[in-house]
Amino acid sequence: MSARSYALLVNTTLTPPLRPPNSLDFPIRGPIVENYSHLQSIMTDHFSLAALGSPRTEPDWRRDRGDAALSDVHRSVALPTGKWRRIAAFLGPGYMVAVGYMDPGNWATSLAGGSKFGYTLLTVALISNIMAIVLQSLCARLAIASGRDLAQACRDAFPRWVAWPLWALAELAIIATDIAEVIGTAIGLNLLFGIPLELGVLITALDVFLILWLQKKGFRWLEAFIITLLGVIAICFGIQIVLADPDWGQVIRGFAPTVEIVKNPQMLYLALGILGATVMPHNLYLHSAIVQTRAYGDTLPEKRQALTYATFDSTLALMFALVINASILILAAASFHATGQTEVAELGTAHTLLGPLLGLSIAPALFAIALLCCGLNSTVTATLAGQAVMEGFLDLRLPPWVRRLVTRSIAILPAAAVTLLYGSEGTGRLLILTQVVLSLQLSFAVVPLVMFTTNKRKMGALVAPLWLGAFATLIALVIIGLNLKLLWDFTHGGL
């Protein structure tokens, strides 16, 4: 007798259609009666699926999820009762994601854009931030609806010949991110304490132990560390903007879109650098993983509530990131472009010029402190993103410290090599190049994200509404179109 025939026979003999017991069958109430449906479900699964030898898979996914994203901190943050306390408990992941939107690579592109074109590229920062808000909300939707982060979703939805190249591109994006963040941190250490760049790069490797120590105390400690440094950054830039005294009329006009950005290849290059530094591929993987640190329930109302609060968290945090990004560009426009310094792209050069231009010796120190805080924050979050990408795509099962050491090494070795080769010269151009590389990689993360979150079979009742799916598709097409335009300009000598 074949396995399938045997299974059918077992189903008809051992698990006949049974009605739930009532008071006539069992005159008493108890666990047997209450758990009857659950028992019948277990029997059906055991005799039909096990006999056939076929694993149970979720609808429209090629395989089960397996271990949860960042399993050592998954559902580790308890949610209190009460609306406002519950909302407060959801605040945190958005700010960890916002760190990536103000990293040292973003500093380089904003400084170059502000010094060269004044306030014109503020509109790019605004549009990029709107894109980021939409895409990060989709990340939260994917995580809460499917229980997967973006890396796991790609692994479980695509065949290996598609998933593995996506993993390689994600790793390339994280390496480009880390090159920017490690160099930025090393420059911050150099400007503040005179530590050589090469040694500064090695010091940044210690963030692995910082993450382990903070997460051992609880994931909320790691979030508190990130938010504290963000507060320091905000204070530093607030003081510098007051000292720079920008033309606020020009600032407001800078947020208005202009076609000159598309027509001017150099402006488009910097605009794509800002886009790549704002909407970062590794943030899409990171957010879809860390939003699952909250211990929300599995019922549809609980998931809807979790999605609402997680979206509020990321939107609020990204608006804060926009303020910081705009502040960098405004500072460059008011301090450098207005005084004829139109070629400032090096972080070290900006640090040197700020003191004489703003008239106070504290200005360069504030710039260096903010840069160091941004670098520290960004390397911590990039390391977590690297862990999520490697675990999600490759399904690795390693101790937490080994995972983080491996993912950190993959990114920090190229950064160290680049620093040794280039030193302090050309780091600004290198930072801008890394952000353009990120922009080119962005499509390979955005397109799968939009595909998954607009698929009702994968998302169920939490599928993205039609208007949101259409908006996200438009964002993906804009990113692809701008990247194709950049490649055209590069291959035809427009840059």
> What are the tens digits of pLDDT across the range 210-229?
777 877 888 899 899 999 99
pLDDT at 115: 87
CB atoms within 10 A of CB 217: 11
Going from the C-alpha of 309 to that of each of 17, 274, 295, the distances in angstroms are: 43, 28, 13
Helices (H) and strands (E) in the chain, counts: 24, 0
Cα distance between residue 124 and residue 108, in whole Å: 15
Say which residue the tokens 């400084």 belong to. 111
pLDDT at 467: 95
Residue 35 has pLDDT above 50, yes or no: no
Residue 37 has pLDDT above 50, yes or no: no
Dig out the tokens for 240 from the structure.
């510098």
Residue 148 has pLDDT above 60, yes or no: yes
In DSSP notation, 132-147 reads HHHHHHHHHHHHHHHS
Q: How confident is the model at residue 295 (pLDDT cuts 50, 70, 90)?
A: very high
Q: How confident is the model at residue 435 (pLDDT cuts 50, 70, 90)?
A: low
pLDDT at 55: 41
Classify residue 493 as left (phi > 0), alpha (psi -120 to 50) or beta. Answer: left
- Among 488, 485, 481, 476, residue whose Cα is nearest residue 443: 476
More confident of the two residues 42 and 462: 462
Map out the domains of the chain with their CATH numbers. 3-52 (no CATH), 83-491 (1.20.1740.10)
- Among 229, 256, 322, residue whose Cα is nearest residue 119: 256
Cα distance between residue 379 and residue 185, in whole Å: 8
Q: Are 276 and 436 in contact (CB under 8 A)?
A: yes
With H, G, I as helix, E, B as strand and everything else as coil, classify residue 77. strand
Q: How confident is the model at residue 66 (pLDDT cuts 50, 70, 90)?
A: confident
Q: How confident is the model at residue 278 (pLDDT cuts 50, 70, 90)?
A: low
Segment 280-309 shows an average pLDDT of 92
What residues contact residue 19 under an 8 Å CB cut-off, 6+ apart?
none
pLDDT at 367: 83
Residue 294 phi, psi dihedral angles, 5° rounding: -85, 140
Segment 473-482 shows an average pLDDT of 86
Q: Are 75 and 295 in contact (CB under 8 A)?
A: yes
With H, G, I as helix, E, B as strand and everything else as coil, classify residue 294. strand
Segment 81-91 shows an average pLDDT of 91
Segment 169-176 shows an average pLDDT of 84
Cα distance between residue 376 and residue 379, in whole Å: 5
Segment 384-397 shows an average pLDDT of 85
Cα distance between residue 195 and residue 193, in whole Å: 6
With H, G, I as helix, E, B as strand and everything else as coil, classify residue 343. coil
pLDDT at 421: 74
pLDDT at 178: 77
Residue 344 phi, psi dihedral angles, 5° rounding: -90, 110
Listed in sequence order, the DSSP H helices in 100-218 are 104-117, 122-146, 150-157, 160-193, 197-203, 207-217
Among 64-73, 296-305, 339-348, where is mean pLDDT lowest?
Answer: 339-348
Residue type, 279: V
Q: What is the DSSP letter of 50?
A: I
- Among 286, 309, 306, residue whose Cα is nearest residue 295: 306
Average pLDDT value over all residues in the chain: 79
Segment 201-205 shows an average pLDDT of 78
What residues contact residue 122 under an 8 Å CB cut-off, 6+ apart?
251, 254, 255, 326, 329, 330
Provide the whole-model pTM. Answer: 0.80
pLDDT at 187: 82
pLDDT at 432: 66
Residue 147 has pLDDT above 60, yes or no: yes
Going from the C-alpha of 477 to that of each of 166, 377, 482, the distances in angstroms are: 18, 31, 9
Q: Are 131 and 482 in contact (CB under 8 A)?
A: no
Segment 235-252 shows an average pLDDT of 88
Q: How confident is the model at residue 17 (pLDDT cuts 50, 70, 90)?
A: very low
Residue type, 307: L
